[in-house]
Structure 1
Amino acid sequence: MRLLLDLGNTRMKWALMLQPEGWLAQGALDWQEGFAAQLESALAGLPTPEMIVAASVVDAAREALVADVIGRRFARAPIWLRTPASACGVRNAYAEPQRLGVDRFLAMVAAYADGYAPCVVASAGTALTLDALAADGRHLGGLIAPGPLLMQRSLIDATARVRPERTGEIFDLADNTADAVTSGCWQAAAALIERFAARVTPLLEGAPTLILGGGDAAELQPLLALPAQMTRDGVLRGLAVWANTQSRASN
């Protein structure tokens, strides 16, 4: 039994996994005041796992907070996975492997393990990340842009007269500021995904599968002209693959 932790920009997801696969329990907590108490409550009553593995894109202070709660609850420390040069069949394209977000790497591990390569792995959340993964597990590189909601906040914060009085809707042609801002940001995200997929298709030697995940994936998917394979918990599933690989290697 393994406890998997995904410390993302907006929230922390967790899952208790029964080897070799399958969640016994799972949950998600937003980063907010009282987070530690909420995490303690969420973990209360869970059996003690044999292994606790964590992936993080947050600061050291939040990692320490999580480690403290885990240590008090289970009397052991998490194993923090930092982005490797290669693992589980996926080879990192970055010259400095640790500079690639571990969430992006693990999402590719999950996609590769599921047999989707060659593929484009897109995650729409606080950031919009895109990665190209070849059939043989080579990561060709990727892009990072603001997610649609962050684009909207950045635009409003940086302008004096763009102040929507309501949440906008998404249209091809908007006739008011609220809808124009919302439509522009969401369509920009969809257009970037489509352009990225078009540019990397020749390099991947065939039409790649588009894997779409992240908190905003469901709202983004209908805007795409490309078919998308929707996925959930890509980072946790990638962690599960990595943990299983480590366990087999140690045995």
Structure 2
Amino acid sequence: MILLIDSGNSRLKVGWLTATEDAATQTTANGQTAGPLMRREPAAVAFDNLNPHALGDWLGTLPQTPRLALGVNVAGPERAQGIHDALARHGCPVRWITSREQLLYLKNRYTEPTQLGADRLVALLGVRSRLPSAHPPYVLASFGTATTIDTVGPDDSFIGGLILPGPVLMRSSLARGTAHLPLANGQVTEFPTDTHQAIASGIAAAQAGAVLRQWLAACRYYGQAATLFVAGGSWPEVEQEMQRLLKQTGGSPNTHPTAYYLDRPVLDGLALIAAQPDPLSF
């Protein structure tokens, strides 16, 4: 067993590379199976919101200790050290994947490749692992503490992406930075008539509008329709507005783009690395 660790700013996800691979499903945002899917799924989620101490306790219950852990960590050195210590108690070394100019067949076109968040690059690799060798451009929008919206071309080159505050950060910044605005939890509507609605709708509009901007930019840049994937714990806050905008895009009601939801693209990318003949070389 090789442990897979996605240590994000808000959540810690843990999975593993299994010996028996079950057929994966790819779903749209409403849960229906759809979209391009070529490979079988090696990653399974064990925990979705874990702390390092609980990770060590869980490892102690396993009939087989993982021989290696591969992970990405964007939550800082203290979190990384806590995970390292929890794994060390069970004799399991951890290798942190960092960004570079090329990761397997995915090329990183950042001006300084090492400055790209490793979670973004590995997540894009996870999406790529689901596609055939010949594929259209794709956009991955991940809604977490920060929202990232990244584009990869048919030549497997990551050409750039956006970073903006995630929905939770947007909401909390309004509450902290103003004297009278609440920590809102309102309904998303086109024409809000109270403050809670206005804030919730403004946040959803900003998030969905940024995604649509990048999707349209990718379509224009490559001269063909890009496939849109979405992920992250804050996706439900954006989904309604995103689906509304997508339905207004395209030549007819039946040709508008679809947002394909992925629940663990970072773990998918780590699983692909773990399946290589020498995962320690990464």
| Counterpart Cα distance in 2 of 1:37 and 1:156 | 32
Where in structure 1 do 4 or more consecutive aligned residues deviate above 4 Å? Answer: none
Letter in 2 for 1:44: G
Report the alpha carbon displacement of residue 246 of structure 1 after superposing the two structures with TM.
Answer: 4.8
Judged with a 3 Å threshold, the aligned counterparts in structure 2 of structure 1 residues 10 and 129 are, in CA distance, closer, same or farther, namely: same
CA contact (8 A) 1:4 1:17 kept: yes
Q: Which residue in 2 is equivalent to 1:27?
A: 47
- Deviates further, 78-87 or 15-24: 15-24
Match runs of 1:113-152 below 5 Å: 113-115=129-131, 117-152=136-171
Per the alignment, in what secondary structure is the counterpart of residue 47 of structure 2? Answer: strand
* Structure 1 residue 106 displacement after superposition: 0.9
2:262 to 218, 231, 250: 231
Q: Give the aligned partner of residue 24 of structure 2.
A: none
Q: Which residue of the partner structure matches residue 205 of structure 1?
A: 223
Cα distance in 1, alignment partners of residues 209 and 65 from structure 2 = 45
Counterpart check, 1:70 vs 2:71: no
Q: Secondary structure at the match of 2:55?
A: helix
Q: 1:169 maps to which residue? A: 187
Q: Percent identity?
A: 30
One-letter code aligned to 2:67: E
Judged with a 3 Å threshold, the aligned counterparts in structure 2 of structure 1 residues 183 and 220 are, in CA distance, closer, same or farther, namely same
With 110-119 and 172-181 compared, the bigger mean Cα shift is at: 110-119
Corresponding residue for 2:249? Answer: none
| 1:31-52 deviations in Å (ceiling 9; x for gaps) | xxxx343222332322212321
Matches within 5 A, 1:1-251: 1-19=1-19, 21-23=41-43, 26-30=46-50, 35-46=51-62, 47-73=64-90, 75-115=91-131, 117-163=136-182, 167-224=185-242, 225-226=245-246, 227-247=258-278
Do the aligned partners of 1:129 and 1:142 also contact (CA within 8 Å) in 2? Answer: yes
Consecutive unaligned residues of structure 1, counting only runs of 5 or more, are none
| Contact map agreement 1:169 1:179 (CA 8 A) in 2 | yes
Instruction: Note the C-alpha offset of 1:196.
Output: 1.4
Q: Aligned pairs, how many? A: 244
Report which structure shows greater RCO (CA 8 Å, sep ≥6).
2
**Is the 1:119–1:132 contact (alpha carbons within 8 Å) kept by the matching residues of 2?**
yes
Cα distance in 1, alignment partners of residues 111 and 213 from structure 2: 25
Structure 1 residue matching 2:119: 3-state secondary structure: helix
Shift of 1:249: 9.6
Preserved contact between residue 6 and residue 56 of structure 1 (Cα < 8 Å): yes
Q: Could you report, residue by residue, the CA deviation over 1:141-165 in whole angstroms, capped at 9, with x for unpaired residues?
A: 011001112111111111111125x
Secondary structure, aligned partner of 2:69: strand
| TM-score normalised according to structure 2 size | 0.81
TM-score normalised according to structure 1 size: 0.90
Displacement of 1:24 in angstroms is: 5.7
Contact 2:66–2:92 (CA under 8 A) maintained in structure 1:
no
Gaps of 5+ in 2: 22-40, 247-257
Is contact 1:8–1:58 with CA below 8 Å preserved after alignment? yes
